[in-house]
Amino acid sequence: SSNGSGEKERTLGIIKPDGLSGNYSDRIKQVILESGFNINKEMVIQLDEENAANFYAEHSSKPFFTNLIKYMTSGPVLVMILEKEDAVIHWRELIGPTDAGKAKITHPQSLRAMCGVDIEKNCVHGSDSHQSAQREIAFFFKEAPSAFKTEAVRKHDE
């Protein structure tokens, strides 16, 4: 939130299954750190269908929902808490538009242009508001690791 105090905001970033299996994690994290974010916490987890459906509940009535759940459960994901002043908007700017195919043309420097393919396989997630960020951070990190099939948890700040 922009209040001029220099206070940091937290957002949730995910490297989706295609980003992780495509070995983009190191390049993505390099961009994250070079852009002034702190990676507060991170963990690699395998979502099951229930986890993914709960996380993307806002899209449950959309025609692409079934494919989205298949995609998000197709392999492990890397979930990160990213911290920076105005983190939500800055992370959304960094990842670029939802359609990675279009991003390659309109936002060639964006992460989705770098590692995504199309409107579904877009390799990264970002919370779309401060409120969403708070919900999504709690979703993954309040009960984790017990609530998820956690492969690796790394805490940077505690």
Q: Distance between alpha carbon 119 and the CA centroid of its chain, in Å?
A: 15
How far apart CA 16 and CA 40 sit, in angstroms, is 18
Binding residue for ligand RTP, selected from 36, 57, 64, 147, defined by CB under 6 A: 64
Q: Please state, in angstroms and as integers, the Cα–Cα distance from residue 61 to each residue in 11, 56, 68, 92, 128, following that order.
A: 25, 10, 12, 24, 19
Q: Is 74 in the site for ligand RTP (CB under 6 A)?
A: no
Site string for Mg ion, 75-114 (x = CB under 5 A): ----------------------------------------
Least distance in angstroms from the C-beta of 6 to ligand RTP: 26
Q: Which of 59, 107, 125, 156 is catalytic?
A: 125
8 A C-beta contact, residue 100 and residue 112: yes
Interface with Mg ion (CB under 5 A): 128
Catalytic residue numbers read 125
